[in-house]
Amino acid sequence: MKFRRKIFKIVIPFIVFLFGITTCLNTFSIIDNNATNRNLKDIKYKETPASATNSIWYRVWGYNKTDSWDMGTSVAYDSVGNYYMVGRSSNSRDAAFLVKYDNSGNYKWNRTWHGEGWPEANDVTVDSSDNIYVTGSIKKDGVYVINTLKFNKTGGLKWNSTAGADYECIGDGIAIGPDNYVYVAGANYTLVGPDYVVLLKYNMTTGNIVDLRSYSGVGSTSGMGKDIAIDSSKNIYIVGTNQSGGIPNEILLLKINSTMDLNWSRSWKNPYKGLHVNQGYGVDVDSNGDIYIVGLYEAYDYFPPYYYHDGVFLKYNETGHLLWEKILHNQYNNTGLGDIYIYQDRIYICGFQGDYDDDDVLVLEYNTTGGLINKTSWGGTADDSGWGITVRNPSDIVIVGRTSSYASGFPADAFILKYYQPSIYPPGSFTLDSNAGDPDTDGNFNLTWSKSIGADNYSVYSHDGFIHQIKNNGTLEDQGIEDLNYTISGLTSGDYYYIVIAYNETGNTSSNCLQVSVRIPPKAFNMFTDANDPDTDGNFNLTWSKSIGADNYSVYSHDVFIHQIKNNGTLEVQGIEELNHTISGLTSGDYYYIVIAYNETGNTSSNCTQVSVRIPPKAFNMFTDANDPDTDGNFNLTWSKSIGADNYSVYRSNNPISNLDNCIEVKSYITDLNYTVTGMKTGTYYFVIVAYNATGFTLSDYVQVNVSIPLNGLPPAQGGNDDDDDSEDGIIPSYDIYLILILTTCISLIYYRV
């Protein structure tokens, strides 16, 4: 991804090698997880030099004290602020390395690995579970291949994947996409023919290669990939170089979609005269989808003859249009940009600047319009350069690279530097907005604001009037916010005013004052009833839960379901402050009720409740005109009207009636209020009237009728109790007289015949 040794092609016209990919997913035998076995060391930090005024801490790390040339190429951080530096060592035993430091710069562990030639660890990234992914190259069977490894946070190797072709392949950039795949960008350097940008897609769990592609440079020239960035839409951006004649003479940018198909490619070169080389080393994407590239321009001026470097900083939009270019150029000096990292649309760049053999680490901070916010350097009296940068926050910037000034031996060691870059300007202007309605009807909304360039954090203030300055008014809602949003909840009706203050160590900047009018209608509530189903008397209570914010309630009724009062509903009562209302005097039918809660903002309806009223006939009384006793067996039954009755039935029994058991139905479906009984014989009878409707029935009181029919028109004997046993009354029962007459007649007939 960063500074690399130059590759020069050997032209052999009659040999053609086709690009192919092989993978080896088993654990590589030359991996070494024990640094002591390879004489690698952890060199403790020295006192920070006076020129490094913004350094929090730095550490150097190298292979040995005599001939080690060590370089940190990339750095990444995990969820708790540990840092992982990768790089390479060149000496009597070349090695690639991964070193872990905690946030305070304390060394934790290192992992190194060797190969047949010069192994490289060129880039590193960390996933959400704090697993570490490293890509680079290693020589295998005489050929350099792309080498990608996964470690857990304790340094345990999870998988090791190699992929190569007929000639040299290098992995230079690594990133984890929104789809949770690992992507590696690099180059395939062919012996004959063009070089290719390569892109590999790995399963992050197994290390299996899911897809791989190769891409030529612009105009079918050679291309080499150096770094990779992926946006939120899964678009992949690879920066590197176009190469012709064995010289990387243009910076190359590729945009590749989520299916790994090329969308477009762009190239750029410095227009200065002379022999020149342009190389892209770093790429990142801002929140707007714009792409930023840093790199290096190498030139040789003929008059006067001098070799120098310029730093290159480019911005493209997502369609590939170059928005601006910046060239950091000091003639006869040495400037280069090695890596870029975008944090909340603040652009951080590391590199080097100075004279040959006396470069310092260069740190730059820009806004997205290309405005320089900060520029500072770090280094000593020898050659120092930065090649990797990451930013947790503006107070936690970490750079890795190569130092000769603070190396423990000759010629250079890798370094990791935690850096604090103070702002020289107060935060930039920004705008406060919200997603609140006008008015807001629930008291819950989000405040959002644009980014204030240079701000470290934000505070939110509120007031019940317009906020001119916090000194005189304003209540602190929250402070130290690093996000660009804040949630407000639980407000009641009223007018509220908000302002956000952006802070950095230089000063603060206020947003606009935002007014939010909250007008909350009554909250949702439910209505209930104690009516039975069905209700049998037409009297019941409606009750409802309290509607938060309601001033009063109204009750509406209708004979069908109530969807909205505008189209249907009869007002029963209004302005109720209690949570209940009594309904009474209803007849059978289906009734629908709804309660509306009101306040000055609006109203809210309860659920619609149905009450089915099914009232049985009302109580009534029965009468008779029969004498006591009745002597002809004919009489009338009459009764009062039973409210709600549809018809009546007459029932008779030989015993007093409390229910219809053992009763005989005499007549049914009578709609009049009387019935004539005829032909009854001597005896005691009990009658009851039953009133019916669709809901049920109701019994009247019963009447007793005593029927006593005289014999041959004579009145019956007096003094009896009419219990069908007249012998005990001292008289001859009427049926005995009939028997005597029959017997007498029979005797007379017999006698006459004889």
| pLDDT tens digit sequence for 290-334 | 999 999 888 766 555 566 778 899 999 999 999 999 988 765 567
Q: What is the pLDDT of residue 3?
A: 43
CA distance 30 to 111: 12
Intrachain domains 527-613 and 622-707 with the same fold: yes
Q: With bands split at pLDDT 50, 70 and 90, how would you rate the model's confidence at 42?
A: very low
CA distance 416 to 77: 12
Q: What is the pLDDT of residue 454?
A: 77
CA distance 728 to 739: 18
Cis peptide leading into 422, omega within 30 of 0?
no
In the predicted structure, residue 15 carries a pLDDT above the cut 70: no
Q: What is the pLDDT of residue 11?
A: 29
Q: Terminus-to-terminus CA distance in the chain, angstroms?
A: 156
User: What value does the mean pLDDT take over residues 590-602?
Assistant: 93
User: What value does the mean pLDDT take over residues 711-738?
Assistant: 49
Q: What is the pLDDT of residue 30?
A: 29
Q: With bands split at pLDDT 50, 70 and 90, how would you rate the model's confidence at 408?
A: confident
Q: What is the pLDDT of residue 182?
A: 98
Q: State the residue for tokens 């019941």.
A: 540
pLDDT digit string (tens) for 495-518?
A: 999 999 999 878 899 999 999 999
Q: What is the pLDDT of residue 251?
A: 92
In the predicted structure, residue 676 carries a pLDDT above the cut 80: yes
Q: Where are the beta strands (DSSP E) in 165-261?
A: 169-176, 181-188, 196-203, 209-215, 222-230, 236-244, 247-256
**Nearest alpha-carbon partner for 185 in 262, 113, 243, 297:** 262
Q: What is the pLDDT of residue 93?
A: 66
**78 or 565, which is more confident?**
78
Handedness of CA 200, 204, 208, 211 (dihedral sign): negative
Q: With bands split at pLDDT 50, 70 and 90, how would you rate the model's confidence at 736?
A: low
Indicate the DSSP class of residue 471.
T
Say how many C-beta atoms besides its own lie within 10 A of residue 753's C-beta.
6
Bridge partners of 575, per DSSP, are none
User: What value does the mean pLDDT take over residues 38-62?
Assistant: 53
In the predicted structure, residue 54 carries a pLDDT above the cut 80: no
- To which CATH superfamily is domain 527-613 assigned? Immunoglobulins (2.60.40.10)
Q: What is the pLDDT of residue 359?
A: 84
Top mean-pLDDT range of 193-197, 373-377, 457-461:
457-461
CA distance 57 to 593: 74
**Nearest alpha-carbon partner for 98 in 45, 138, 157:** 157
Q: State the residue for tokens 């345990």.
A: 156
Q: What is the pLDDT of residue 272?
A: 64
∠ CA 540-546-550 to the nearest 5 degrees?
115
Report the SS3 class of residue 37.
Answer: helix
Show the 3-state SS of 101-143.
Answer: ECCCCCEEEEEEECCCCCCEEEEEEECCCCCEEEEEEEEECCE
User: What value does the mean pLDDT take over residues 510-533?
Assistant: 94
For residues 227 and 172, the answer to whether their CB atoms sit within 8 Å is yes
Q: What is the pLDDT of residue 41?
A: 36
CA distance 113 to 2: 19
∠ CA 212-216-217 to the nearest 5 degrees?
135
Q: What is the pLDDT of residue 108?
A: 94
> Of how many residues is the chain composed?
754
Top mean-pLDDT range of 30-44, 341-355, 626-640:
626-640
**Nearest alpha-carbon partner for 87 in 499, 416, 564, 549:** 416
In the predicted structure, residue 723 carries a pLDDT above the cut 80: no
Q: Where are the beta strands (DSSP E) in 371-523?
A: 372-378, 384-393, 396-403, 413-419, 432-434, 445-449, 457-463, 475-481, 485-488, 494-503, 508-510, 514-518
Which class is domain 432-518? mainly beta
For residues 400 and 61, the answer to whether their CB atoms sit within 8 Å is no
Question: pLDDT above 90 covers what percent of the chain?
Answer: 58
Domain spans of the chain?
Answer: 432-518, 527-613, 622-707
Mean pLDDT score of the chain: 83
CA distance 560 to 565: 12
Q: What is the pLDDT of residue 640?
A: 96
Cβ neighbors of 739 (< 8 A, separation 6 or more) are none
In the predicted structure, residue 704 carries a pLDDT above the cut 80: yes
**410 or 295, which is more confident?**
295
Which class is domain 622-707? mainly beta
Question: What is the DSSP pairing of strand 120-126 with strand 169-176?
Answer: unpaired
Q: What is the pLDDT of residue 231?
A: 95
Distance of CA 608 to the CA centre of its chain: 34
In the predicted structure, residue 50 carries a pLDDT above the cut 50: no
